[in-house]
Amino acid sequence: MSNVFIMDSDQELIELVNGGDVDAFETLYRRYRDWVYHLAWRFTGSPQDALDVLQETFTYLLSKFPGFSLTASMTTFLYPVVRHLSLTVRSKNRRFTSDEEMLSEITVPALKDTHSSRSELAAVLAVLPDEQREVLLMRFVDDMSLQEIAVALNIPLGTVKSRLHHALQRLRDDHRTKEYFLE
């Protein structure tokens, strides 16, 4: 793969891919591969399923060329795709679990961490309402801006802010996680 595209913006890469440049696609793939994989892992809770979702996500992206036009950021485009594909993979494996149960389950990390504050953080996150937890993780794990979250979830910006505010407030109020917020 050529390194000449490393500095190119997503938009520039997409234009090149629309013109048939496979190296530009590879750059795009390597740029978002880990991001997609981590998100898919969070949704599926399984490394193997996450790999399947990763492949399917980029196969879907490939199918959009030529003629693909990016109207927002790449993560905004990819987030709903990964989410949808993850839920599809999960429902193939667990037919009797509802989407809500899946979402609730998948965003809770395994408590293998021996660090007590991290374990407690995980425990508090586990009881957050799904929509609040999702926004919190999109902001601080997926590194998406509030505007990008709003577009990806198709909800108003004010709703994103409100959900995030409530999520952080619960963490501040909980004795197990309030140390994160002490000045």
Partner 1 sequence: MSEETKHFDEDLDLRVSQKFSEDLNILFKPQFSIQPEVDRAVLDKAHQQFTPKHWGHRILRHINIWRIAAAAAVIIFAFSLNLTQKPGPTTSPSLLGEARAVDIDRNGRVDILDAFKLARYVESAEGTEKKWDINGDGLVNSNDVDLVASAAVRLDKGVL
Q: Which residues bind partner 1 (CB under 8 A)?
A: 20-22, 25-26, 29, 33-34, 37-38, 41-42, 47, 50-51, 54-55, 58-59, 62, 65-67, 109, 113, 115, 117-118, 121-122, 125, 136-137, 139-141, 145-147, 157, 160-161, 164-165, 168, 180-181
Q: Nearer Cβ to partner 1, position 60 or 91?
A: 60
**Residue 127: CA atoms inside 13 Å, Cβ hemisphere, count?**
9
Q: Nearer Cβ to partner 1, position 95 or 110?
A: 110
Instruction: Report in angstroms how near the CB of residue 92 gets to partner 1 at its nearest.
Output: 19
Instruction: Report in angstroms how near the CB of residue 96 gets to partner 1 at its nearest.
Output: 26
Q: Nearer Cβ to partner 1, position 58 or 77?
A: 58
Instruction: Report in angstroms how near the CB of residue 162 gets to partner 1 at its nearest.
Output: 10
Burial 48-62 (b: 16+ CB within 10 A, else e): ebbebbbebbbeebe
Q: Nearer Cβ to partner 1, position 87 or 151?
A: 151
Query: How many residues in the chain?
Result: 183
Instruction: Report in angstroms how near the CB of residue 24 gets to partner 1 at its nearest.
Output: 10
Q: Nearer Cβ to partner 1, position 22 or 99?
A: 22
43, 106 contact by CB (below 8 A): yes
Instruction: Report in angstroms how near the CB of residue 68 gets to partner 1 at its nearest.
Output: 10
